[in-house]
Amino acid sequence: MKTTIDIPEKELRDAMRFTKAKTKREAIVKVLEDFNRQRRMAELVKYSGTCKDMMSFHELMELRERDLPKSARLYSK
């Protein structure tokens, strides 16, 4: 999408330096992608710790081992 905006020169230079972008467009796209990624992560953090009934890795492995035939088991007991 073509858009004309007035971006402060110093901010754009910093964005190009931090993103190692070769063009102004590339810098702006990278900054927008990073911003959106950070916001998506922040939204996911709201839900952290809300799955109290999840099994641990060890419980999952024990369940898988129990359901496999003896010849296919990775860990013998």
User: Which pLDDT tens digit goes with each residue over 11-30?
Assistant: 999 999 999 999 999 999 99
Question: How far, in Å, CA of 50 to CA of 46, rounded?
Answer: 9
Arithmetic mean of pLDDT, 55-70: 79
Question: How far, in Å, CA of 47 to CA of 33, rounded?
Answer: 22
- On whether the CB atoms of residues 30 and 36 are closer than 8 A, the answer is no
Q: What value does the mean pLDDT of the chain take?
A: 85
Handedness of CA 15, 25, 29, 4 (dihedral sign): positive
* DSSP SS3 for 62: helix
Arithmetic mean of pLDDT, 50-63: 78
- Residue 62 neighbours by CB distance under 10 Å: 14
